Structure 1
Amino acid sequence: MTDKKAMIDIGWNLDNSYAQLPETFFTKQAPTPVRAPELIVLNAPLAASLGLNAKALQSPEGAAVLAGNEMPEGALPLAQAYAGHQFGYFTMLGDGRAVLLGEQLTPQGKRVDIQLKGSGRTPYSRGGDGRAALGPMLREYIISEAMHALGIPTTRSLAVVSTGQPVTREKDLPGAILTRIAASHLRVGTFQYVRGAGTTEDLRILADYTLQRHYPDAEPGAGANRYLVLLQEVIKRQAALIAKWQLVGFIHGVMNTDNMTLSGETIDYGPCAFMDTFDPNTVFSSIDSQGRYAYVNQPYIAAWNLARLAEALLPLLHEEEEQAVKLAEGAIGAFTDLYHEQWLAGMRAKLGIFHMEEEDEALIEDLLKMMKNHQADYTNTFRALTFNKLEDTPLQGTPEFASWYERWQARLGRQQESWDDARELMRSSNPAVIPRNHRVEEALEAAEQEGDYSVMQELLDVLAEPYAHSPEQAEYAVVPKGSRPYRTYCGT
């Protein structure tokens, strides 16, 4: 067994509030030990922010904890139960390959989940092996940390360890475990599960827990329904989140209700990717043959998912079902305007516009239409506008772009802020780099096939400051010509 002092030196400060909820919500489940855990990558800055000792985590004792071979002091491992609409079809689910060790209480007073993903079978594995391959775990590490650097609410990745044993998919692949950090793993699907498998009192307990954990300041006024407030607050956060996705061209790929958090964080980086050439109908996921989760559909799917949350909350919204439905519909009806306001404000910032004018939306939509028609790169077009390097976009030289550019310049001229102010706003709103698909694949291939993690580390370093616009980032903004349509896979 691991020396107890070595475990304490890591800095664990675990609590287990979720384990105090009704046992219907979870199953106590320890991770399945692995053969030869080895630390592949550690997020030292994140470790420090959690109050953890990065050096201790890099030790064999630390790797043993990150692999699930040893339990840190204070851990009460469990697998959470939840349900979900997957591609529109309702299914009872749960953590089929993940275990929640507990909740770390950080030096900043935050409470965050510590979860091991790929840690072995659970009662919710549905015939699966409960394991994960190295490639998908490294992929989640790269994309989630890139999202964090872009300022988008997301789960974080603390570490990836290899297990020393293969997982069998189409072929044998090296196994790995990801340590995921989240504000919580409460999902729309958690409420769907409790509505179906629990009592109304169970549902109330879950809603109260969610309010206390994520919305402690959202207390309703006199006579207001606190569960309606919960629904409204989740809707606000999701509207803001999806707008941020759209503004950077991020496509989640599998927006099932079990992949939508109550905290408003992005979760479960399976077949996700960032769009290169702008096309609203872009789909990367190999399993999304109908385009349900295409880029253009993400706001609509978010509203659909939130409607499922509202359905689950109906018994708490009002004792009379008809009145409960009216309250739910009113709350869901606000999503579209909330999202649109966030998206429009973000697009204005991307164009250096500080204040609202009625024709702004037409200016934005006309630019996007030109980008689609001329197959312009989404990120690099805004980058070219930011630095007035119009030769870097295929829009340059076209009559419609010349006309649009004049309109844009006139619009900037009508605001009090200077061009320098506008460009600084654009610099901070338009990333120089995103996790380009070919760069991510290059890093994963080097790691999986050659055991070379330097390519991934260089990519992570570049992605850590996406708004720096440094000379070193220039080569990571290049999109190879003639690349084939990109396809992603869920990694399970």
Structure 2
Amino acid sequence: MTVHFPFQNTYAALPANFFARVAPTPVAAPRLIKLNRPLAIHLGLDPDILESPEGAEILSGKTLPGGADPIAMAYAGHQFGHFVPQLGDGRAILLGEVIDGDGIRRDIQLKGSGPTPFSRRGDGRAALGPVLREYVVSEAMAALGIPTTRSLAAVVTGEQVMRETALPGAVLTRVASSHIRVGTFQYFAARGDVEALRSLADHVIARHYPELLATERPYQGLLSAVIARQAKLVARWLLVGFIHGVMNTDNTSISGETIDYGPCAFMDSYDPAQVYSSIDELGRYAYANQPRIALWNLTRFAECLLPLFSDDKDKAVEEAQTLLMTFGEEFNLHYTTGLRAKLGLFAEHEDDQGLAQALLDEMAKGAADFTLTFRRLSEAAGDPEADRNVRQLFTEPEAYDAWSERWRQRIGQEPQSANQRQALMRAVNPAFIPRNHRVEAIIKAAVDGDDYRPFEELLTVLSKPYEDQPEFAAYAEPPRPEERVCQTFCGT
């Protein structure tokens, strides 16, 4: 019996040069290792069917569900600043779109499902480790409340893939508001195909920004809306210590979601210059560089839209520049508001940014753990005796003592009670993040021993990042020196 998904395929209805029609390559012996049952239900899919052997075949690409119209999307991109005119889905195939329980259209895509016309001599496959990393980190981001692609399922294929060594193969089922990127626009802009750009922009507006349909300048509105979403997204990354690791234009989502969890990482000790990605040799995508790179990527997006703004190129450039200038203000608004909330400051005072920056400077000098410092500050906000738990995170605790005096004077000007302030801070300062050493540990257990119990336990912990979970307290601790993970790697 063929299983039917309630697919709609609006992207596949666009002109043929937007994609390549290609079916997934069947695998030998698919086995489901994880289904995100709540997400499946929200997408209108039957989790019991997906957890069956037939479901494993669908989620690996061995069998197509009824209603699927599989395609690999075309796009270009700047990779580490260098433009590549044709990239595209080299190991991912979009099966179709469904309308979720909130009435929002979602892509369902298989990642690691075999070669496509865009594979550029790659095998089109994914190894188990990167699949588990993306599953864990994307679901952690969702639990943190940060816009992100989601993970519906992970399947092992019964085959091996060759990277540095032979590794177990796997397929991730990824869910997104869409997989349209800045690089998608660049693909057509590089070819001078203005009609394709217009069709793509119209599709994006109808799908993601329908409020622009009735406006006089919808394409300028599109640039403005994408700028606003990206500014807010990157601010939220910084507020939880997240480093994307590969902020190429083909990994910049038009919908404003975090996409592509290759060499990503969450910081342990705070360092604005922190880089984990093994391929980011010059630190282009370091933690503190992410806002600047986001604006750079948005500038490339604006360049693509210029022909849609006006036939007068100078006028189009002027309009784009004016809109791009709003990025800094948007980012600073979300970042400074978020920092104040992390410090328990909810009324705006002139020196709040200076107070926050002074703490960050001392954290950098004292190698203080980013997540734990703010979480323990939440406790100290309700109990001054808890200051000792914060100060011990600094190599020179006296530096925290001096800052703490300023902070206590400032929170004393807020109207909340100590308990209220503590609760508000705990709601924005997570106790648990997917720390690199924990992610590496669950990958090692799965790859070396086919043991997914650590993976399941880590998912359980990360599903409630703002709760204390005393039984899992060890997961909140930073790595010991011998556990530190200094580099993360791309899965291709």
TM-score where L is the length of structure 2: 0.96
Matched, 1:162 2:156: yes
- 3-state SS, counterpart of residue 387 of structure 1: helix
CA shift digits 1:22-73 (9 cap, x unpaired): 1111010110111111111111111111111111101111111111111111
Structure 2 match to 1:53 = 46
Instruction: Say if 1:63 and 1:111 are closer, same or farther in 2 by CA, change over 3 A.
Output: same
Deviation at 1:394, TM superposition (A): 2.9
2:172 to 174, 178, 189: 178
| 1:407-486 correspondence to structure 2 within 5 Å | 407-483=406-482, 484=484, 486=486
Structure 2 match to 1:259 = 251
1:365 to 354, 357, 360: 357
1:93 to 61, 78, 87: 87
Structure 1 match to 2:196 = 202
Query: Could you tell me how far apart the structure 2 residues matched to 1:265 and 1:129 are?
Result: 27
Query: Could you tell me how far apart the structure 1 residues matched to 2:472 and 2:269 are?
Result: 19
Query: Could you tell me how far apart the structure 1 residues matched to 2:485 and 2:100 are?
Result: 43
Structure 1 range deviating more: 18-27 or 382-391 = 382-391
Deviation at 1:266, TM superposition (A): 0.3
Query: How many residue pairs are counted as aligned between the two chains?
Result: 483
2:73 to 71, 77, 80: 80
2:64 to 66, 71, 91: 71
Matched, 1:24 2:17: yes
- Any conservation in 2 of the 1:283–1:294 contact (CA below 8 Å)? yes
Structure 2 match to 1:130 = 124
Matched, 1:390 2:387: yes
Letter in 1 for 2:80: F
- Any conservation in 2 of the 1:396–1:402 contact (CA below 8 Å)? no
Deviation at 1:406, TM superposition (A): 1.5
| 1:147-296 correspondence to structure 2 within 5 Å | 147-197=141-191, 199-219=193-213, 221=215, 224-296=216-288
- Any conservation in 2 of the 1:82–1:258 contact (CA below 8 Å)? yes
1:116 to 101, 110, 134: 110
Q: Which runs of 5+ in 1 are unaligned?
A: none
Query: Could you tell me how far apart the structure 1 residues matched to 2:182 and 2:420 are?
Result: 41
RMSD: 1.2
- Any conservation in 2 of the 1:318–1:324 contact (CA below 8 Å)? yes
Runs of 4+ in 1 over 6 A off after TM superposition: none
Structure 1 range deviating more: 43-52 or 305-314 = 43-52
2:134 to 130, 135, 140: 140
TM-score where L is the length of structure 1: 0.96
Letter in 2 for 1:131: R
Structure 2 match to 1:297 = 289
Structure 2 match to 1:320 = 312
Letter in 1 for 2:62: N
Deviation at 1:473, TM superposition (A): 3.3
Query: Could you tell me how far apart the structure 1 residues matched to 2:214 and 2:322 are?
Result: 16
- Any conservation in 1 of the 2:106–2:177 contact (CA below 8 Å)? yes
Deviation at 1:378, TM superposition (A): 0.2
| 1:399-414 correspondence to structure 2 within 5 Å | 399-414=398-413
- 3-state SS, counterpart of residue 205 of structure 2: helix
Query: Could you tell me how far apart the structure 1 residues matched to 2:320 and 2:396 are?
Result: 50
- 3-state SS, counterpart of residue 308 of structure 2: helix
CA shift digits 1:445-489 (9 cap, x unpaired): 001100000000000000000011221231101123323451100
Query: Could you tell me how far apart the structure 1 residues matched to 2:343 and 2:99 are?
Result: 40
Instruction: Say if 1:296 and 1:354 are closer, same or farther in 2 by CA, change over 3 A.
Output: same
Query: Could you tell me how far apart the structure 2 residues matched to 1:396 and 1:294 are?
Result: 23
- 3-state SS, counterpart of residue 345 of structure 2: coil
Letter in 2 for 1:430: N
CA shift digits 1:177-233 (9 cap, x unpaired): 100000000000000001123621111110010001001123565xx4110000000
- Any conservation in 2 of the 1:220–1:229 contact (CA below 8 Å)? no
- 3-state SS, counterpart of residue 234 of structure 2: helix
Structure 2 match to 1:487 = 487
Matched, 1:15 2:8: yes
- Any conservation in 2 of the 1:390–1:396 contact (CA below 8 Å)? no
Query: Could you tell me how far apart the structure 2 residues matched to 1:398 and 1:438 are?
Result: 26
Letter in 1 for 2:399: E
- 3-state SS, counterpart of residue 427 of structure 2: helix
- Any conservation in 1 of the 2:262–2:489 contact (CA below 8 Å)? yes
Deviation at 1:396, TM superposition (A): 8.8
- Any conservation in 2 of the 1:145–1:157 contact (CA below 8 Å)? yes
